[in-house]
Amino acid sequence: MNIMVFLDFFYSIFKSNTNTANSTETINIVNLKMTSATNNISSSEQQAALYQKIFKKIYESRAGTNKNSWEYFSLGLTVYQWLTENDPVYTHTLVLEDVLDAVYEIFDIIISILEMLKSNSSLLAPIVYYSNSFVKRAGIKHNQLFNLLLTSTIVTLKFWSESVQIRNILLADIFEFPVKDINIMEKRFLSGIDYNLNISQDEISEFLARFDKSYHERFQKLKHFKEQQAIINQIIKNKNQNNNNNNNINNNKKQLSKSANNISTTTIIISANTQNCETY
């Protein structure tokens, strides 16, 4: 499946009423349009063409190399879960493997950006982590995924990579986006996660471990799409059930805490009354 099944243009992720794009309407970002060098070309266009050439070379060397990794699988399932909850018509229309392949292609683009900017590929996990926080509040449609993950990449690089000076205009040049639109996307993304970028390595590890490695091994052994679909649905169902159980436990704890406070208040009143009786 072509990655651009997922793409709509720029900051549609932040529009409240977004119509699902037709999956046949694609824009080819991977095969970026290279500007021909002429005597009349501007220095900015030359720079953009150079960035595009470097990025394309890195992407072509990277594409598909991490497809079978556990990290891609775990993070890919997180994205798939977004879609099952927020865009069920889309996930019911396509075969699971096609959806994951398209998600993995977006991950390949993100990894290529990180490599181009001399950043560690392990930042992919925080990128999806922050995106997950955004999706919880704003939802997501399949044609908005690339925009969301690209914006999260920009924010993550600026926060986590002290040695890298990321400029929005660089990514605007690579993907031929108006830089002002990228600036808007970044501001709205930060607002969507309440500017909360402080996360620990333990939180990242826990986020990655949401889907056990044993699921990945079982998934890799399955040859039929229906079997793969069944195991993924079961994984997500179990995950949702665990989340509901945790929520119930937290609610029960709050209720117990409230009851304890009431008992404590009652004790104080009784004690006060006793003292009054003794005084009398």
Instruction: Give the mean model confidence (pLDDT) for residues 230-241.
Output: 60
Q: How far apart are CA 56 and CA 33, in angstroms?
A: 10
pLDDT digits (tens, 9 = 90+) for 94-145: 888 888 899 999 999 999 999 999 898 999 999 999 999 999 999 999 999 9
Helix (H/G/I), strand (E/B), else coil: 7: strand
Query: What's the alpha-carbon Rg for the chain, to the nearest Å?
Result: 24
Residue 1: which pLDDT band, with cuts at 50, 70 and 90? very low
Q: Which of 16-25, 28-37, 166-175, 209-218 has the weakest average pLDDT? A: 16-25
pTM: 0.68
pLDDT digits (tens, 9 = 90+) for 158-181: 998 777 778 899 999 999 889 999
Q: What pLDDT shows up at residue 69? A: 87
Is 157:117 a contact under the CB 8 Å cutoff? yes
Backbone angles phi, psi at 223, to 5 degrees: -105, -20
| pLDDT, greater one: 268 or 215 | 215
Q: What pLDDT shows up at residue 135? A: 96
* Amino acid of residue 14: F
Helix (H/G/I), strand (E/B), else coil: 144: strand
Q: What pLDDT shows up at residue 167? A: 87
Helix (H/G/I), strand (E/B), else coil: 32: coil
Instruction: Give the mean model confidence (pLDDT) for residues 217-225.
Output: 55
- Identify the CA nearest to 21 among candidates 10, 29, 31: 10
Burial class (CB in 10 A: 0-12, 13-18, 19+), 16: exposed
Instruction: Give the mean model confidence (pLDDT) for residues 185-196.
Output: 94
Given a cut of 80, is residue 5 above it in pLDDT? no
Residue 278: which pLDDT band, with cuts at 50, 70 and 90? very low
pLDDT digits (tens, 9 = 90+) for 75-94: 998 999 999 999 999 988 88
Is 8:21 a contact under the CB 8 Å cutoff? yes
Given a cut of 50, is residue 211 above it in pLDDT? yes
| pLDDT, greater one: 242 or 11 | 242
Angle, in degrees to the nearest 10, between helices 201-208 and 124-138: 80
* Amino acid of residue 164: V
| pLDDT, greater one: 211 or 181 | 181
CA quadruple 70, 72, 78, 81: dihedral, nearest 10: -100
CA 190 to chain centre: 13
Residue 166, token pair as written in the block: 């990321």
CA quadruple 168, 174, 175, 176: dihedral, nearest 10: 90
Residue 240: which pLDDT band, with cuts at 50, 70 and 90? low
Residue 231: which pLDDT band, with cuts at 50, 70 and 90? low
> Which residues, including other chains, have CB under 8 Å from residue 278's CB and lie 6 or more apart?
none
Is 157:119 a contact under the CB 8 Å cutoff? yes
Is 20:89 a contact under the CB 8 Å cutoff? yes
Averaged pLDDT of the chain: 74
Is 83:236 a contact under the CB 8 Å cutoff? no
Q: How far apart are CA 119 and CA 104, in angstroms?
A: 19
| Percent of the chain whose predicted confidence (pLDDT) is above 70 | 60
Q: What pLDDT shows up at residue 268? A: 41
